[in-house]
Amino acid sequence: MQEMKGKAVIVTGASSGIGRACALKFLEAGCKVAAVARRKELLEALAEGSKDMLPIPADITVPAEVDRVVEETVKAFGGIDVVVNAAGILRSGNIESTSLDDWDEMMALNVRAPFYLIKKAMPYLIERKGNVVNVSSVNGLRAFPGVLAYCVSKAALDHLTRCVALEVASKGVRVNAVNPGVTLTNLHKAGGMDDEAYRAFLERSKTTHPLGRVGTPEEVAELIFFLASPKAGWITGACYSIDGGRGQTCLR
Protein backbone atom coordinates (compact mmCIF):
# COMPACT_ATOMS: atom_id res chain seq x y z
CA MET A 1 0.00 0.00 0.00
CA GLN A 2 2.90 2.38 0.69
CA GLU A 3 3.76 2.32 -3.01
CA MET A 4 0.39 3.93 -3.81
CA LYS A 5 0.46 6.63 -1.15
CA GLY A 6 -0.29 10.06 -2.60
CA LYS A 7 -1.38 8.77 -6.02
CA ALA A 8 -4.27 10.68 -7.63
CA VAL A 9 -7.08 8.33 -8.64
CA ILE A 10 -10.35 8.93 -10.48
CA VAL A 11 -13.06 6.34 -9.73
CA THR A 12 -16.36 6.50 -11.60
CA GLY A 13 -19.48 4.81 -10.27
CA ALA A 14 -18.12 5.59 -6.82
CA SER A 15 -21.46 5.94 -5.04
CA SER A 16 -22.16 2.19 -4.88
CA GLY A 17 -20.98 -1.33 -5.61
CA ILE A 18 -17.54 -1.98 -7.06
CA GLY A 19 -16.85 1.73 -7.60
CA ARG A 20 -17.53 2.51 -3.95
CA ALA A 21 -15.36 -0.38 -2.79
CA CYS A 22 -12.56 0.87 -5.06
CA ALA A 23 -12.80 4.43 -3.76
CA LEU A 24 -12.49 3.17 -0.18
CA LYS A 25 -9.65 0.78 -1.03
CA PHE A 26 -7.55 3.47 -2.72
CA LEU A 27 -8.31 5.90 0.11
CA GLU A 28 -7.21 3.30 2.67
CA ALA A 29 -3.92 2.99 0.77
CA GLY A 30 -3.26 6.71 1.14
CA CYS A 31 -4.34 7.77 -2.33
CA LYS A 32 -6.16 10.96 -3.20
CA VAL A 33 -9.47 9.92 -4.72
CA ALA A 34 -11.80 11.81 -7.04
CA ALA A 35 -15.08 9.96 -6.45
CA VAL A 36 -17.40 10.42 -9.43
CA ALA A 37 -21.08 9.46 -9.69
CA ARG A 38 -24.47 10.97 -10.42
CA ARG A 39 -25.82 10.73 -6.86
CA LYS A 40 -24.44 13.74 -5.00
CA GLU A 41 -25.76 12.83 -1.57
CA LEU A 42 -24.16 9.38 -1.61
CA LEU A 43 -20.83 10.80 -2.76
CA GLU A 44 -20.84 13.42 -0.03
CA ALA A 45 -21.63 10.77 2.58
CA LEU A 46 -18.79 8.62 1.25
CA ALA A 47 -16.29 11.48 1.39
CA GLU A 48 -17.43 12.90 4.73
CA GLY A 49 -14.53 13.48 7.09
CA SER A 50 -11.83 12.75 4.50
CA LYS A 51 -9.55 15.46 3.15
CA ASP A 52 -8.21 13.07 0.52
CA MET A 53 -11.50 12.21 -1.18
CA LEU A 54 -13.01 14.72 -3.59
CA PRO A 55 -16.69 14.07 -4.42
CA ILE A 56 -17.50 15.09 -8.00
CA PRO A 57 -21.18 14.66 -8.90
CA ALA A 58 -21.30 14.22 -12.67
CA ASP A 59 -23.08 12.46 -15.51
CA ILE A 60 -20.15 11.03 -17.44
CA THR A 61 -22.28 10.34 -20.51
CA VAL A 62 -22.09 14.11 -21.06
CA PRO A 63 -18.69 15.10 -22.54
CA ALA A 64 -18.63 18.48 -20.80
CA GLU A 65 -19.10 16.71 -17.48
CA VAL A 66 -16.11 14.47 -18.20
CA ASP A 67 -14.07 17.56 -19.04
CA ARG A 68 -15.05 19.00 -15.66
CA VAL A 69 -14.14 15.79 -13.80
CA VAL A 70 -10.63 15.85 -15.26
CA GLU A 71 -10.21 19.58 -14.63
CA GLU A 72 -11.38 19.40 -11.01
CA THR A 73 -9.19 16.38 -10.30
CA VAL A 74 -6.06 18.01 -11.71
CA LYS A 75 -6.82 21.26 -9.92
CA ALA A 76 -7.25 19.47 -6.58
CA PHE A 77 -4.51 16.84 -6.84
CA GLY A 78 -2.04 18.23 -9.38
CA GLY A 79 -2.40 15.40 -11.87
CA ILE A 80 -3.81 11.93 -12.48
CA ASP A 81 -2.13 8.58 -11.79
CA VAL A 82 -4.99 6.11 -12.13
CA VAL A 83 -8.42 6.01 -13.78
CA VAL A 84 -10.89 3.34 -12.69
CA ASN A 85 -13.93 3.14 -14.98
CA ALA A 86 -16.41 1.39 -12.69
CA ALA A 87 -19.66 3.09 -13.73
CA GLY A 88 -21.99 0.86 -15.71
CA ILE A 89 -25.59 -0.04 -16.44
CA LEU A 90 -27.45 -3.23 -17.32
CA ARG A 91 -30.75 -3.66 -19.14
CA SER A 92 -32.29 -7.00 -20.08
CA GLY A 93 -33.37 -7.74 -23.64
CA ASN A 94 -32.66 -9.94 -26.65
CA ILE A 95 -32.35 -9.12 -30.37
CA GLU A 96 -36.14 -8.93 -30.67
CA SER A 97 -36.93 -6.95 -27.51
CA THR A 98 -33.96 -4.58 -27.01
CA SER A 99 -35.02 -1.02 -27.81
CA LEU A 100 -32.74 1.50 -29.43
CA ASP A 101 -33.03 3.64 -26.31
CA ASP A 102 -31.77 0.82 -24.08
CA TRP A 103 -29.00 0.00 -26.58
CA ASP A 104 -27.88 3.63 -26.74
CA GLU A 105 -28.03 4.06 -22.95
CA MET A 106 -25.76 1.07 -22.33
CA MET A 107 -23.32 2.02 -25.07
CA ALA A 108 -23.17 5.59 -23.76
CA LEU A 109 -22.29 4.66 -20.18
CA ASN A 110 -20.48 1.34 -20.63
CA VAL A 111 -18.33 2.24 -23.68
CA ARG A 112 -18.47 5.87 -24.80
CA ALA A 113 -17.97 7.37 -21.34
CA PRO A 114 -14.87 5.27 -20.50
CA PHE A 115 -13.44 6.03 -23.94
CA TYR A 116 -13.83 9.77 -23.47
CA LEU A 117 -12.57 9.80 -19.87
CA ILE A 118 -9.47 7.84 -20.86
CA LYS A 119 -8.92 10.20 -23.80
CA LYS A 120 -9.17 13.33 -21.65
CA ALA A 121 -7.06 11.90 -18.82
CA MET A 122 -4.36 10.49 -21.12
CA PRO A 123 -2.03 13.54 -21.19
CA TYR A 124 -1.87 13.43 -17.39
CA LEU A 125 -1.46 9.64 -17.31
CA ILE A 126 1.43 9.90 -19.78
CA GLU A 127 3.04 12.61 -17.67
CA ARG A 128 2.98 10.40 -14.57
CA LYS A 129 3.33 6.98 -16.27
CA GLY A 130 -0.07 6.09 -14.86
CA ASN A 131 -2.62 3.46 -15.72
CA VAL A 132 -6.29 2.63 -16.34
CA VAL A 133 -8.43 -0.20 -15.00
CA ASN A 134 -11.79 -0.77 -16.68
CA VAL A 135 -14.56 -2.69 -14.95
CA SER A 136 -15.97 -5.03 -17.56
CA SER A 137 -17.84 -8.31 -16.98
CA VAL A 138 -17.78 -12.03 -17.64
CA ASN A 139 -20.42 -11.02 -20.21
CA GLY A 140 -17.67 -9.33 -22.20
CA LEU A 141 -15.80 -12.60 -22.57
CA ARG A 142 -18.68 -15.03 -22.98
CA ALA A 143 -22.15 -14.82 -24.53
CA PHE A 144 -25.26 -15.02 -22.35
CA PRO A 145 -28.88 -14.90 -23.55
CA GLY A 146 -31.27 -12.12 -22.56
CA VAL A 147 -28.70 -9.36 -22.00
CA LEU A 148 -27.63 -8.68 -25.58
CA ALA A 149 -26.66 -5.01 -25.44
CA TYR A 150 -24.91 -5.42 -22.09
CA CYS A 151 -22.78 -8.28 -23.44
CA VAL A 152 -21.88 -6.30 -26.56
CA SER A 153 -21.01 -3.19 -24.55
CA LYS A 154 -18.69 -5.12 -22.26
CA ALA A 155 -17.03 -6.90 -25.17
CA ALA A 156 -16.43 -3.47 -26.69
CA LEU A 157 -14.93 -2.25 -23.39
CA ASP A 158 -12.58 -5.24 -23.36
CA HIS A 159 -11.36 -4.47 -26.87
CA LEU A 160 -11.05 -0.78 -26.03
CA THR A 161 -8.79 -1.92 -23.19
CA ARG A 162 -6.58 -3.97 -25.48
CA CYS A 163 -6.39 -1.36 -28.26
CA VAL A 164 -5.54 1.55 -25.97
CA ALA A 165 -3.01 -0.59 -24.11
CA LEU A 166 -1.12 -1.16 -27.36
CA GLU A 167 -1.27 2.49 -28.34
CA VAL A 168 0.13 3.91 -25.12
CA ALA A 169 2.49 1.17 -23.94
CA SER A 170 5.50 2.95 -25.44
CA LYS A 171 4.56 6.02 -23.40
CA GLY A 172 4.66 4.11 -20.14
CA VAL A 173 0.89 3.89 -19.57
CA ARG A 174 -0.79 0.57 -18.76
CA VAL A 175 -4.45 -0.30 -19.46
CA ASN A 176 -6.20 -3.38 -18.06
CA ALA A 177 -9.70 -4.64 -17.30
CA VAL A 178 -11.39 -6.89 -14.77
CA ASN A 179 -14.27 -9.19 -15.72
CA PRO A 180 -16.40 -10.02 -12.67
CA GLY A 181 -19.11 -12.61 -12.47
CA VAL A 182 -22.25 -11.89 -10.47
CA THR A 183 -21.27 -9.55 -7.64
CA LEU A 184 -23.36 -8.22 -4.76
CA THR A 185 -24.06 -4.74 -6.08
CA ASN A 186 -27.09 -2.71 -7.11
CA LEU A 187 -26.52 -3.37 -10.83
CA HIS A 188 -29.33 -5.84 -11.42
CA LYS A 189 -31.90 -4.07 -9.24
CA ALA A 190 -31.07 -0.76 -10.92
CA GLY A 191 -31.65 -2.58 -14.21
CA GLY A 192 -35.22 -3.40 -13.25
CA MET A 193 -35.05 -6.61 -11.19
CA ASP A 194 -37.35 -6.51 -8.16
CA ASP A 195 -36.36 -7.81 -4.71
CA GLU A 196 -37.95 -11.23 -5.12
CA ALA A 197 -36.44 -11.82 -8.55
CA TYR A 198 -33.03 -10.67 -7.31
CA ARG A 199 -33.13 -13.07 -4.36
CA ALA A 200 -33.97 -15.91 -6.74
CA PHE A 201 -31.19 -14.80 -9.09
CA LEU A 202 -28.61 -14.83 -6.28
CA GLU A 203 -29.76 -18.28 -5.16
CA ARG A 204 -29.47 -19.63 -8.71
CA SER A 205 -26.04 -18.02 -9.00
CA LYS A 206 -24.76 -20.54 -6.44
CA THR A 207 -25.20 -23.16 -9.17
CA THR A 208 -23.96 -21.09 -12.13
CA HIS A 209 -20.67 -20.21 -10.41
CA PRO A 210 -18.50 -23.31 -9.86
CA LEU A 211 -17.15 -21.92 -6.57
CA GLY A 212 -20.72 -21.92 -5.31
CA ARG A 213 -21.26 -18.25 -4.50
CA VAL A 214 -21.35 -14.74 -5.91
CA GLY A 215 -18.56 -12.25 -5.37
CA THR A 216 -18.27 -9.14 -3.25
CA PRO A 217 -17.33 -5.61 -4.38
CA GLU A 218 -14.37 -5.71 -2.02
CA GLU A 219 -12.93 -8.81 -3.73
CA VAL A 220 -13.10 -7.11 -7.12
CA ALA A 221 -11.62 -3.91 -5.67
CA GLU A 222 -8.61 -5.87 -4.43
CA LEU A 223 -7.84 -7.05 -7.97
CA ILE A 224 -8.35 -3.56 -9.37
CA PHE A 225 -6.01 -2.13 -6.75
CA PHE A 226 -3.36 -4.71 -7.62
CA LEU A 227 -3.59 -3.92 -11.34
CA ALA A 228 -3.27 -0.20 -10.59
CA SER A 229 -0.23 -0.73 -8.37
CA PRO A 230 3.46 -0.99 -9.27
CA LYS A 231 3.29 -4.71 -8.44
CA ALA A 232 1.44 -5.12 -11.78
CA GLY A 233 3.99 -3.05 -13.63
CA TRP A 234 4.53 -5.66 -16.38
CA ILE A 235 0.82 -6.23 -17.04
CA THR A 236 -1.05 -4.37 -19.77
CA GLY A 237 -3.82 -5.16 -22.24
CA ALA A 238 -5.14 -7.93 -19.96
CA CYS A 239 -8.76 -8.75 -19.14
CA TYR A 240 -8.76 -10.57 -15.81
CA SER A 241 -11.62 -12.90 -14.90
CA ILE A 242 -12.78 -12.71 -11.30
CA ASP A 243 -15.98 -14.71 -11.56
CA GLY A 244 -15.98 -17.78 -9.34
CA GLY A 245 -15.38 -19.86 -12.47
CA ARG A 246 -18.57 -18.78 -14.21
CA GLY A 247 -16.82 -17.99 -17.48
CA GLN A 248 -15.72 -21.62 -17.70
CA THR A 249 -19.30 -22.86 -17.89
CA CYS A 250 -21.42 -20.06 -19.39
CA LEU A 251 -24.34 -21.26 -17.27
CA ARG A 252 -27.16 -18.69 -17.18
CATH number, domain with residue 136: 3.40.50.720
Instruction: Please classify residue 45 by burial: count the beta carbons closer than 10 Å to its beta carbon, then call 0-12 exposed, 13-18 middle and 19+ buried.
Output: exposed
Residues facing residue 180 across a β-bridge = 242
- What is the pTM assigned to this prediction? 0.94
Does residue 218 sit within a domain? Answer: yes
Active-site residue 116, yes or no? Answer: no
Cα-based angle 227, 230, 232 (whole degrees, multiple of 5): 40
Does residue 147 sit within a domain? Answer: yes
Place 195 in a pLDDT band, splitting at 50, 70 and 90.
confident
Tell me how many domains the chain contains. 1
Does residue 250 sit within a domain? Answer: no
Does residue 249 sit within a domain? Answer: no
Question: Minimal CA–CA distance to 17: which of 2, 37, 45, 31?
Answer: 37
Tens of pLDDT, residue by residue over 66-111, are 999 999 999 999 999 999 999 999 999 999 999 999 999 999 999 9
- The answer to whether 22 touches 229, Cβ cutoff 8 Å, is no
Q: Which of 150-164, 173-187, 224-238 shows the lowest mean pLDDT across its residues?
A: 173-187
Full domain range(s) for residue 162: 2-243
What is the crossing angle of helices 217-228 and 17-28, to 10°? 50
pLDDT at residue 95, rounded to an integer: 97
Does residue 252 sit within a domain? Answer: no
Does residue 248 sit within a domain? Answer: no
Place 184 in a pLDDT band, splitting at 50, 70 and 90.
confident
Catalytic pick among 116, 150, 198, 240: 150
Rounded-to-integer distance, Cα 245 and Cα 165, Å: 26
Name the strand (E) or helix (H) holding 195. Answer: helix 195-208
Tens of pLDDT, residue by residue over 28-79, are 999 999 999 999 999 999 999 999 999 999 999 999 999 999 999 999 999 9
Percent of the chain surpassing pLDDT 90 = 86
Does residue 104 sit within a domain? Answer: yes
Does residue 99 sit within a domain? Answer: yes
pLDDT at residue 133, rounded to an integer: 98
